[in-house]
Amino acid sequence: MTDANRASRTTTAVMAKVALVGDLLMLQLLFLICSIGIVTLVPAVFALQRVLPEAIGQEHPALVRRFWRQLKWAFRRFWLAGLGLYVGSIALATGIFFWISTNGPIRFAALVILLPLTGLLVGLYLSVLAVLPEVGDDITSRTLVQTANIFLLRRSLAVAGGVIGLATWLLLLVRLPTLFIVGSGLVPALLAYFIGRTTTKKTEQDG
């Protein structure tokens, strides 16, 4: 291989990485815009997750159009469940902060219940995101949760790693809030994507 060919391949690889980063940041911007409304938050999360594999694989030239289409699909099917998820998350976070700031032995009993419950729910949430790109367009909220629950049971260790990764990200976000702009949607999406991709490869190897 000549130096010119090596230089050409290096340039092509660099340009591909730049294009990938640009596409990811564009999806993050779309997510931020669409998640301003509380009702559209979860549909925006789902739309980002459904489009992410195509962005990473550079398989779809019209990512913006694809994102809007997935946002409409997710809003029609999951806006009510998403609103319930949002309210439940706020209530759970409020409960945790309340008991952390409370003195007395009951505090520890409450946290022993709430913290593992929170970890389980976050794991289920990441499992939903992990299976989301593969489900059909006719999926319902109930079927999606059932599919994610099966995924969680079968791949609990991988999901647990994702929960730890997400918790680390949230701790970092507390110290550097400006990272919210570039990673609020992408970090959970990428964690779930790599969980799903890793477990899919493992299943194929086992088979």
Q: Which residues of the chain have pLDDT under 70?
A: 1-13, 60, 199-207
Give the pLDDT confidence of 27-79 residue by residue, as tens digits: 999 999 999 888 999 999 999 999 999 999 877 678 899 999 999 999 999 99
Token code pair at residue 127: 């499992």
Q: What is the pLDDT of residue 127?
A: 96
Other C-beta atoms lying within 10 Å of the C-beta of residue 73: 16
Phi, psi of 125 (to 5 degrees): -60, -45
Q: Locate tokens 């099917």: which residue? A: 77
CA distance 199 to 87: 31
Q: What is the pLDDT of residue 125?
A: 95
Secondary structure percentages of the chain, helix, strand, coil, to 5? 85, 0, 15
Nearest to 166 by CA among 73, 67, 89: 89
Distance (Å, whole) CA 167 – CA 93: 13
pLDDT of residue 3: 55
Taking the C-alpha atoms of residue 101 and residue 198, their distance in angstroms, rounded to an integer, is: 39
The residue extents of the domains of the chain are 3-206
pLDDT of residue 192: 96
At 4 the pLDDT is 56
Express each pLDDT in 59-72 by its tens digit. Answer: 767 889 999 999 99
